Structure 1
Amino acid sequence: MADVIADYGHNVTLFQPYHLALKNTEGLVKNKNIEILNYYPENYEELLNSKTQTFPIFWDSQLVNHPVLSAFMMPRLLGKEFEGTAKQIIKDTDLHETLRNKNFDVAIAETFEISSFYVSHIIGIPCIPVISAVRLNLFNNLFGQPSSLGYIPHTGSQMVPDAGFMDRFNDVYRNYFDNVCFESLTERQFNYIQDAIGKPVPHWKDLIAQSPVFISNSNPYLDFAVPTTATIVHVGGITMNLKNIKNPGKMPEEYEKILQERGSTVLISFGSVIRSFEMPDDFKAGLIKMFKSLPNVTFIWKYEQDDVEFQKRLPKNVHLKKWVPQPSLLSDSRLKVFVTHGGLGSTMEVAYSGKPALMVPVFGDQTHNAYMLARHGGAIAYDKFDLKNGEKLTIVMKDLVSNSKYEENAKKLQEVFFNQPIDPKLNLMNHLEFAIEFPNLRSQVPEISKVGLIAHYYFDVIAFLGLVGCLGLYLFFQIIRRFCVRVVFKKIKND
């Protein structure tokens, strides 16, 4: 996002407070005019010496994967990671003065961690919220988007029109606890931020909702169609370079040799947060069974650890790599399928590449991303717990590699992206400049979004009309009953 804004001629400062010792943007910022302002907490040396948290429990922990338990565990887990650096930022008056002296027109901040909204409040500049995921109902609601129930399936639910009562019940149940989870996480942050400031401050909902726009990483031609408002701006695809996709560069020599080994090649990568080498052994066993069952397919597996013993268990058609040139491989016609966890970056890359995909969501928004891509017909959403089922995995993979319908559908979606009428980068810039010009505009948020659930969905009117209808039917049947009684009584009297 910083690169896009700077490329359009704006002065950009990228403020990076470290909650973990992960330099996620090293090598990613291309525009040399961007000022990078790193902020290291007091315990940064301790963070450097500690083991990077990779959350292997997300693979198969029943506790973390249970929606109710997760709703109460995740706010504690993630809130604790944020707290130290966030409180330090809020208390650092020297930092506030440095930022204030730069005379920024606007700040842009991720909603997942909210301390930047309060720093912006302290230094007196408007702050535009962004979400790096496709959507988060908790924040979309602040900008007038109605509930997405029925429009987007939750984990374990069939998609419309196949959804039945239990699917709808599952959607309601999971939607409720998803909101509980994220509201608890954000409320926890608000409490320690207010304590750090030392005086009452605007509630996070009121502060975030002041913005005239909310920038989402959704692409309307990829994502589910949902009712929305003009304030929610979709810029999914700003990271995609169409020129490089259409004209990929030369493949590194070692991968060129691998791609020439067999007629079909499959790439497997589960991202950078969840590591393949920490996958449960029975999941690995299922993958190995698939590898052996498909000897005519080459597999490149992003595996983050040197493991000689594990390598011995693999057939010759499998190559383990700590790092892979993912965009280059996806642009190569010899790669037939991408097996991915469904992180939004990888989802967007495979969608733009026109490649079939096996989507194996592990946690978070990845299930949404998997369903989102699968509905276009070029991908299959696959339950991670079925990785241990080597026979099923083999059948699905063989179908993806050999059945041309997946590639045809994936190419159709790619053509849509290449011809979408609104360029995501231009959409971002137009709305950003609009928000700077009109920082207090709120007319596009429907007033009905401010009322309670009963008034919003007219439940009181529906109940009233239902009551009146029932009363009318009761009176009608009473009249008919009395009329019938009189007619029958009169006939008996006459007889």
Structure 2
Amino acid sequence: MFGYSHTKFISQMANVIADHGHNVTLFQPYHIDMKNTEWLVKNKNIEVLNYYPDHFEELTKIKHPTFPVFWDSKVVNNPVLSAFIVPKLFCKEFERTATQTILDEDLHEQLRIRKFDVALVEVFEISGFYIADLLNIPSIPIASVVRLNMYHELFGQPSTVGYVPTDGSKMSPEAGILDRFNDFYRIYFDNLLFENLAQRQNDYIEAAFGRPVPKWRDLISQSPIYITNSNSYLDFAVPTTATVVHVGGITMNLKKSVGDLPEEYEKILQERDSTVLISFGSVVRSFEMPDNFKAGIIRMFESLPNVTFIWKYEKDDVEFQNKLPKNVHLKKWVPQHSFLSDSRLKVFVTHGGLGSTMEVAYSGKPALMIPVFGDQPHNALMLERHGGAIAYDKFGLADGEKLERIMKDLVTNPKYEENAKKLQEVLHNQPIDPKLNLMKHLEFAIQSVFPLYL
């Protein structure tokens, strides 16, 4: 239990598997005191096994890590330096709970008596692979993101250089030799970041046992499949192998009716013909944004008085509110899904987290993608290539005039909505349901492949 998007993806995976008649235990070790996640588990037959470490009371007194440093730090935004700094930051959050789970023999017995056929483990925090190995349970790696090149390569996928642009590169056909160098450079250090992240975890797990343990590469690569949160119709086309299974879209419930917006939002939507929603997610928060970024956004607000802006701003700040023009509403929380389903919302401004990227793609709304860190630059370029979104450098937030031009174009130019609707139609009518794709591959691995290894 660490990041909301990770928890949502894994919980939905559990729902899908349980809906298809399998017995599912959702094992959730807490790295932070995450709250309000119970509703993610829809199937009542799922057994939720929460693991609260010895220091959990200490975690309840700590604010959730939100990493404001990712906004504008030249250190963590440098691919070379971040390859060494980011693993250290995350492993600091993981280590205490992870080492407890792998040494807790009572926990191991609780898991052993359930006689699991398989364990699905996310690659972001890898202690689950070691628990599965201790219990002699086959494990399948899953990733709640579109692409982690290092893990894809473990399953035979060639390099994506020349197929997928990285942060700072142009997309084909405009890409030139310098873009190719940038792609190679960034992919190399991105792989190094995740290799360092996995190795650091491998090292403290080995130290906890006091003896050599299997290497993380060996534990992960022995699986017959690797499940990712990519969608072939949304993502870039890349050379791949049958072992990499794409299930992106399983978190989207197309049959679910969207509830009415609360009255306070109905009134806001009626103020002007055009309304824009702004949300930067929960890990990097709006109120921690640098002042020069905020100043650029305010200049955009002032330059577009005929547009209503609703900004998810996680702090009550009367002084800041007084700096804003009357066409801006600050809200600590917004019903994002309901907004994206409302025809009166013209544009969604987002950090490009994969959950938000999926939601806006399936909703057919134009978007301004402003990635902050992690997989967000990839998600922004991935959505932009379909013509309904614009990827925008976060350091350009300080340029209010440029923001105004882009926002005005997104609101008034019909091509963005037309292209967004085309993508929506493709996703809603894709020939293979991502949920069915998940189940077919999972059941195949359990029934036909794993017995060959046991």
- Specify the TM-score bucket, using the shorter chain as the normaliser: over 0.9
Which sits farther off after the overlay, 286-295 or 363-372?
A: 286-295
Q: How far, CA to CA, are the matches of 1:440 and 1:36 in structure 2?
A: 25
User: For residue 413 of structure 1, what is the aligned residue in structure 2?
Assistant: 423
Match runs of 1:274-285 below 5 Å: 274-285=284-295
Q: 178-187 vs 356-365, which deviates more?
A: 178-187
Q: Is the aligned partner of 1:40 residue 2:52?
A: yes
1:6 shift after superposition = 1.2
Q: Which residue is equivalent to 1:447?
A: none
Gaps of 5+ in 2: 1-12
What CA distance in whole angstroms lies between the structure 1 residues aligned with 2:58 and 2:213? 31
Shift of 1:161: 1.1
For 2:372 and 2:36, the matched residues in 1 are separated by 21
Q: Helix, strand or coil for the counterpart of 1:53?
A: coil
How far the C-alpha of 1:201 sits from its partner, in A, is 2.4
Amino acid at match of 1:295: P
Once the two structures are superposed, the pairs formed by residues 230-249 of structure 1 within 5 Å of their partners are: 230-244=242-256, 247-249=257-259
Counterpart position of 1:266: 276
Structure 2 CA distance for partners of 1:442 and 1:153, relative to 1, 3 Å: farther
Distance in structure 1 (CA, Å) of the matches to 2:365 and 2:33: 34
Question: Deviation of residue 27 (structure 1)?
Answer: 1.9
Q: Which has the larger radius of gyration?
A: 1
Aligned to 1:107: 119
Equivalent residue, structure 2, for 1:401 = 411
Deviation of 1:252 (Å): 1.5
* Cα distance change, pair 334–427 in 1 and its aligned pair in 2 (3 A): same
Deviation, structure 1 residue 442: 9.6
Residue 56 of structure 1 and its aligned partner are, at CA, apart by 0.4
- 1:301-355 deviations in whole A, cap 9, x for unaligned? 0000000111101111111111110010000000000000000000000000000
Match of 2:437 among 427, 432, 437: 427
**Contact in 2 for aligned 1:210/1:440 (Cα 8 Å):** no
Residue deviations 1:145-201, cap 9 Å, x none?
001111111111111111111111111111111111110110111111122223322
| 1:28 partner letter | L
**Can you list the C-alpha shifts for 1:44-89, whole angstroms capped at 9, x where unaligned?**
1111112221100000000010111111111111112111111111
User: Matches of 1:272 and 1:394 in 2, distance apart?
Assistant: 25
Contact 1:105–1:126 (CA<8 Å) still a contact in 2?
Answer: yes
Measured in 1, the distance between the counterparts of 2:448 and 2:284 equals 41
- Greater mean deviation of Cα atoms: 258-267 or 195-204: 195-204
Q: In the alignment, what sits opposite 1:16?
A: 28
Q: Secondary structure at the match of 2:38?
A: coil
Matching residue's letter, 1:151: Y
Distance 1:15 1:440 in 2: 22
1:176 and 2:188 equivalent? yes
Superposition RMSD in Å: 1.3
Residue type at the aligned position of 1:397: M
Aligned equivalent of 1:252, options 253, 262, 270: 262
| Contact map agreement 1:126 1:439 (CA 8 A) in 2 | no
Q: Distance in 2 between matches of 1:403 and 1:441?
A: 56
Q: CA deviation at 1:25?
A: 2.3
Aligned runs of 1:58-457 on 2, under 5 Å?
Answer: 58-244=70-256, 247-440=257-450
The alignment's TM-score, normalised by the length of structure 2, stands at 0.95
**1:241 to partner: Cα distance:** 1.1
**What letter corresponds to residue 241 of structure 2 in structure 1?**
T
AA in 1 matched with 2:280: F
Superposed displacement of residue 441, structure 1: 8.3
Partner amino acid, structure 2, of 1:193:
I
Mapped to 1, the partners of 2:387 and 2:53 lie a distance apart of 46
Which of 31, 43, 47 pairs up with 2:43? Answer: 31
Q: Percent identity?
A: 73
Amino acid paired to 1:259: L
Aligned residue number for residue 5 of structure 2: none
Going from structure 1 to structure 2, the CA distance change for 1:438 and 1:24 (only over 3 Å counts) comes to farther
State how far apart, in whole Å, the 2-side matches of 1:411 and 1:209 are. Answer: 39
Output the amino acid matched with 1:127: S
Task: Say which SS state the counterpart of residue 27 (structure 1) adopts.
Answer: helix
In 1, Cα distance between equivalents of 2:35 and 2:208 = 26
Gaps of 5+ in 1: 444-495
